Amino acid sequence: MEQKQSKAFWRYFKKNHLAVGGLFLVVVIFTIALLASLLSPYDPGKTNVSLKLKPPSGHNLLGTDQLGRDVFSRMLHGSRISLTVGFIAVGISILIGILVGATAGYYGSWIDSLLMRFVDTMLCFPSFFLILTVVALMGPSLINIMIVIGVTSWMGTARFVRAEFLSLRERDFVQAARSLGVKDLRIIFRHILPNALAPVFVTATLSVASAILVEACLSFLGFGVQPPAPSWGNILTEGRTYIFDAWWLTVFPGLAILLTVLSFNLVGEGLRDALDPRLRGRR
């Protein structure tokens, strides 16, 4: 049965050409990030003031910045930081969301009401300004950014998981497990959770794009990854001073952020369509 479902999923996913294109871009970006040290022609932190603000050429494919550093090398190493932030932050948010949503959906009653009111309270705060405030208080660092993004973006996952658990907890296989005396934790994580992960995968894919964008915004505002460590956001913010003299400092990191966020969003939309039987007939 699982093999048939897997084949059906891939059959519907492949029909979505935009999602396949997005998946191809994601694989390319991952490969570039993994091989950044091998692909980088120069040390991303090496300065040479005599070469500052040189336009793209054969020696410097994406030009140089105000300190003479090779933008192409910095972009390659910056992809690692952006993807690391995206995946670790989303991992934290998905873990919290699953725990809260599963607890609320399985036990219901006052536990569900209490947890959902907490979720509603968290949703009342503008997420980006909350992240900005916490990062400003804790100090800008890579670890702080990942933790803050993770602990302020789990509410959507919690709601999806809760809805799935409310539906699945009344199914026959759950009632049978209860009648056999199976403990609640085993029922939650062994029997119900595997059947509730479809919307989580979609949410996780879309959240990676959102986390990368938030990191880029924080770095652009000076609260993200701090120089000299390269990230797409701080390359972009360093280039805004020279936007009319050195267009490549803003265009190339901007395009990298755009393509990465777009590719993850396309994959997420494709997963949603392929995993939801109600949407399959539209294609």
Rounded to whole angstroms, the maximal C-alpha distance in the chain is 77
| pLDDT single digits (tens) 208-261 | 888 888 888 888 787 877 777 888 888 888 888 888 888 888 899 889 989 998
Which range among 3-17, 49-63, 119-133, 165-179 shows the weakest confidence by mean pLDDT?
3-17
Which range among 17-31, 45-59, 217-231 shows the weakest confidence by mean pLDDT?
217-231
Side-chain half-sphere of 225: how many Cα atoms within 13 Å?
Answer: 25
Q: How many CB atoms lie within 10 A of CB 179?
A: 8
| pLDDT single digits (tens) 140-163 | 778 888 888 888 888 888 988 998
> Is 81 within 8 Å of 235 (Cβ atoms)?
no
- Measured in Å, how far apart are the chain's first and last C-alpha atoms? 23
Query: Is the pLDDT higher at 263 or at 127?
Result: 263
**What would the CATH number be for the domain defined by 14-38+68-280?**
1.10.3720.10
> Is 75 within 8 Å of 55 (Cβ atoms)?
no
Q: pLDDT grade, residue 1 (50/70/90)? A: very low
pLDDT higher than threshold 50 for residue 82: yes
Q: Would you state the structure tokens that stand for residue 168, as one six-digit string?
A: 């699945």
- For the chain, the average pLDDT equals 84
Query: Per residue, what are the HEC states of 8-32?
Result: HHHHHHHHCHHHHHHHHHHHHHHHH
Closest CA to 276 of 160, 151, 146, 126: 160
Q: Would you state the structure tokens that stand for residue 59, as one six-digit string?
A: 């020696």
CA gap 231, 71 in Å, rounded: 11
| pLDDT single digits (tens) 93-133 | 999 999 999 999 888 888 889 999 999 888 887 777 878 88
pLDDT higher than threshold 70 for residue 92: yes
CA gap 221, 237 in Å, rounded: 7
- Mean pLDDT over residues 77-95, rounded? 89
Structural domain boundaries in the chain: 14-38+68-280
